[in-house]
Amino acid sequence: MTEFGSTPEQSPDPATGPVEPAAPLGAAVPASPAIPSPTPPSPGLPSQVIVYPLPGEAGVTAPTPGDPDATPVADLLADPEVAPGSVAELSAFGPNSPRRGRSRLNLPAMIVVAAVIGLLAGLLGGFGGYKLAQRSTSNTLGTISLPQVTAGSSSRASDTIAGIAKAVLPSVVSIQVSNPNESATGSGFVIRSDGYILTNNHVAAPAAQPGGTMTVQFQNGVTKPGTIVGVDPSYDLAVVKVDLTGLSVATLGNSDGVQVGDTAVAIGSPLGLAGTVTSGIISALNRPVTAGDSATGASSAFIDAIQTDAAINPGNSGGPLVNGSGQVIGVNSAIASLGASAQGSQSGSIGLGFAIPINQAKRVAEQLIATGHSTHPVIGVSLDLGFSGSGARIAAVTPGGPAAKAGLGVGSIITAVDGKVIADATELIVAIRSHVPGDTLTFTVSGSGSSTQVKVVLSASS
C-alpha cells in the first residue's frame, strides 16, 4: 500500500507488460561507443512493451573530418606531353632531274625505296593520329560539365521541418552531468532569457549527488556550469540555471490543443549527438506512463503522456517536443522498448516515445523557479496495488483528507474519473496528477453491487 501522491511500487500492468525502472544514468560507456545497427527482434519475443525513462547517454564523439595530412589523390587524367617528332624530307629524282652522263633506271631499287617511304609515312601518320586523338580525348574530359541545379536559397518556410529546426535549435541545450560514480548526457531547453532551463529530473539527478557537476552546452558551442534550481521527481521535471542573459527562449505552446496526427518534432542530444532533429506525428494522448528509479525499483514519476513516433533515444531526455508551429508541447521523457539489446543495455527507439505535456511542465517549472519546490494534487488515500480487478481499490483513507470528506471508504473501487474509465491504480494516479490542486473531479465508485458518482476536491502535497 502506498500513500496516494507519494512514490508507490509499480505492479505489473497486464495491458502493457511490466514497467521496468530506468537504466542507470551513465552506465559504463566508452568515450566514443560504437552505435550498433538496429537488429530485428527474434521470433518469440514477448508482445509486451517495457516503458523506460530516457537515461542520459555517455557522449558519442562524432566522426572527425578526414586527416588533413592525407596525401592527395594523383590526377589520373593528366595529359601526357606528346614527344615532338620530325618527318624527313624524301626526294626522288624526277624525269627532268639534271644529271651528268648517262645512267640507267634501277627499278627494283626504286620500288624498295618507295615501299620504305610508304611504310614510314603510314607509321608516322598513324602515330601522329593516335597522339592527336589522345590529346583531343584528354582535353574533352577536362572540360566535361554535368548538368546540376543551383543551390538556390537556404531559407525555408517556418512551418517546414527545416524551418522549425532553425527556429527552435538555438534554445535547445545539451546537459552533461557527472559524479564520482556516473556520468551521462541529456537535453533541455531555455524557458527564460536570464538562464533558466527546463529538463527532466532524471537528467539533473546525478549532479545533485555529492561531488556532482553539471555542464550546459549551447548550439553555438558555448558551455557554462549549471546549477539545480529545483526538482520534482513526481513529474520527472527539473529546472537548472546558467550564468547567462539574453538567451534565445523556446516558445511554449498549449498541450490542451494537441490532437492525434499533428506534426511532432523532437530535438535534443540522443546518444550524445547534440542538435539532433527527428520528426513524426502525435500518435496518442493521455497515455499513462511511469518512470522508475533503477536503484530501488520503485516507480516515482507518473505521466499523463503525449505519445509520438518521432525517434526518441537515450539522451533526448529533457529536450522539447514541438508542434508544426515550432511551439513546445511536451518534454521528452520516456520510451517504450521490446527489451534489452544483445549488449545488455537499453535498446533504442521503436517509434513509441512519451513526453510530459507542457501545460503540466509549465506549472511545475514556475513553482520551482519561485520557491524551489512544487506541489502536486492528492486525494488522501492509499491504494491496493495487489488488486487484480478493474479499477483502483482504496486500501486506506487519510482522516480529514479529500477522499474522507467526500465519503470514500476502505474497499471502495474507483472505476472512472470524469467519465474516463480507470483500469488500475497507476491510471488513477496519472489521471489525478494531470490536474492541479483545487480542481474538482467526479469519481465513479463501485461497491456493494452498485456505482455512485462522488465529487472530490484535490488538495496539494509537496
Q: Could you tell me the CATH number of the domain that includes residue 392?
A: 2.30.42.10
Residues 343 and 432 in one domain: no
User: Could you say which of 13, 232, 236, 304 is catalytic?
Assistant: 236
Cα(384)–Cα(391) distance, integer angstroms: 10
Cα(64)–Cα(378) distance, integer angstroms: 52
pLDDT at 143: 87
Of the candidates 98, 76, 10, 104, the residue with the CA atom closest to the CA atom of residue 294? 10
Number of domains in the chain: 2
| Confidence at 185, pLDDT banded by 50, 70, 90 | very high
**Which range (73-87, 116-130, 382-396, 434-448) has the least confidence?**
73-87
Residues 381 and 314 in one domain: no
Residue 358 lies inside a defined structural domain of this protein = yes
pLDDT at residue 33 is higher than 50: no
Residue 123 lies inside a defined structural domain of this protein = no
| 3-state SS assignment for residue 379 | coil
pLDDT at 116: 60
Residue 88 lies inside a defined structural domain of this protein = no
pLDDT at 155: 86
pLDDT at 25: 33
Q: Which grid coordinates are listed for 166? A: 532553425
User: Could you say which of 317, 333, 349, 382 is catalytic?
Assistant: 317
Of the candidates 356, 161, 188, the residue with the CA atom closest to the CA atom of residue 263? 161
Domain boundary (315, 345, 371) is at: 371
Q: Which grid coordinates are listed for 409? A: 471508504
pLDDT at residue 389 is higher than 80: yes
Q: Is 412 a residue of the active site?
A: no
Residues 273 and 225 in one domain: yes
More confident site: 87 or 181: 181
**Which range (11-15, 128-132, 138-142, 218-222) has the least confidence?**
11-15
Residue 76 lies inside a defined structural domain of this protein = no
Instruction: Tell me what the mean pLDDT of segment 102-116 comes to.
Output: 54
Instruction: Tell me what the mean pLDDT of segment 324-337 comes to.
Output: 95
> What does residue 45 show for φ and ψ, rounded to 5 degrees?
-65, 145
Of the candidates 323, 327, 290, 293, the residue with the CA atom closest to the CA atom of residue 202? 293
The residues near 428 (Cβ < 8 Å, ≥ 6 apart) are 383, 391, 392, 414, 417, 422
| Confidence at 415, pLDDT banded by 50, 70, 90 | very high
Residues 212 and 361 in one domain: yes
Cα(152)–Cα(163) distance, integer angstroms: 16
pLDDT at residue 15 is higher than 70: no
Q: Which domain, by its residues, includes 412?
A: 376-461
Residue with cell 505489473: 12
Residues 330 and 423 in one domain: no
| Confidence at 129, pLDDT banded by 50, 70, 90 | low
Q: Is 13 a residue of the active site?
A: no
> What does residue 3 show for φ and ψ, rounded to 5 degrees?
-60, 125
Residue 434 lies inside a defined structural domain of this protein = yes
Residues 326 and 399 in one domain: no
Residues 355 and 408 in one domain: no
C-alpha to C-alpha distances, 394 to 403, 407, 408, 409, 424, nearest whole angstrom: 10, 12, 8, 7, 11
Residues 453 and 343 in one domain: no
pLDDT at residue 140 is higher than 50: yes
More confident site: 444 or 118: 444
- Which DSSP state fits 191? E
Domain boundary (309, 339, 371) is at: 371
pLDDT at 383: 93
- Which DSSP state fits 368? H
List, as one string, the DSSP characters of 103-158. ----HHHHHHHHHHHHHHHHHHHHHHHHHHHHHHHHHHHHT--------------T
Average pLDDT, the chain: 77
Residues 341 and 201 in one domain: yes
User: Could you say which of 13, 187, 202, 304 is catalytic?
Assistant: 202
pLDDT at 461: 86
| Confidence at 99, pLDDT banded by 50, 70, 90 | very low
More confident site: 120 or 335: 335
**Which range (23-32, 388-397, 401-410) has the least confidence?**
23-32
Percent of the chain at pLDDT > 70 equals 65
- Which DSSP state fits 314? T
pLDDT at residue 120 is higher than 70: no
CB atoms within 10 A of CB 4: 28
Residues 282 and 198 in one domain: yes
| Confidence at 385, pLDDT banded by 50, 70, 90 | confident
C-alpha to C-alpha distances, 159 to 268, 326, 346, nearest whole angstrom: 19, 8, 34
pLDDT at residue 42 is higher than 80: no
- Chain-centroid distance, C-alpha 54: 11
Residue 135 lies inside a defined structural domain of this protein = no
Domain boundary (344, 371, 398) is at: 371
Residues 332 and 188 in one domain: yes
- Which DSSP state fits 13? B
pLDDT at 179: 95
Q: pTM of the full predicted structure?
A: 0.69
CATH code of the domain covering residue 176: 2.40.10.120
Residues 268 and 214 in one domain: yes
Of the candidates 354, 345, 342, 343, the residue with the CA atom closest to the CA atom of residue 40? 342
| Confidence at 450, pLDDT banded by 50, 70, 90 | confident
pLDDT at 329: 98
Residue 383 lies inside a defined structural domain of this protein = yes
Residue 173 lies inside a defined structural domain of this protein = yes
Instruction: Kindly give the pairing relationship between strand 196-199 and strand 392-397.
Output: unpaired
| Confidence at 113, pLDDT banded by 50, 70, 90 | low
Q: Which grid coordinates are listed for 216? A: 550546459
Per-residue model confidence as pLDDT tens digits over 208-255: 999 999 999 999 999 999 999 999 999 999 999 999 999 999 999 999
Q: What separation, in Å, do the N-terminal and C-terminal C-alpha atoms of the chain show?
A: 20
pLDDT at residue 160 is higher than 60: yes
Q: Is 317 a residue of the active site?
A: yes
Helix, strand, coil percentages, rounded to 5, for the chain: 20, 30, 50
Contact predicate 310/353, CB 8 Å: yes
pLDDT at residue 58 is higher than 80: no
